[in-house]
Amino acid sequence: MRYTVVWLETVRDELMKIYLAATDKRAVTRASDRIDLELRNDPDRKASPYGDQWVYHSDPLLILVRISPDDRLV
């Protein structure tokens, strides 16, 4: 199933801090792009359950996500 990946503003701010501090900015950019692409389709098969959230690793990033099947949002 196709989902829409939405980044919360606070998460985008944190991602910007990570990017600015990174020695390999391209790796951070590739990882965030990969997150958008990978979690668009069947995120529950790509992320791992973690309490009421899910965890997804795209080196060098590790993120917590919420999957809303009714809204098709991640």
pLDDT tens-place values along the chain, 74 residues long:
899 999 999 999 999 999 999 999 999 999 999 999 999 999 999 999 999 999 999 999 999 999 999 999 99
User: What pLDDT score was predicted for residue 7?
Assistant: 96
The conformational region for residue 55 under phi > 0 = left, psi -120 to 50 = alpha, else beta, is beta
User: What pLDDT score was predicted for residue 1?
Assistant: 82
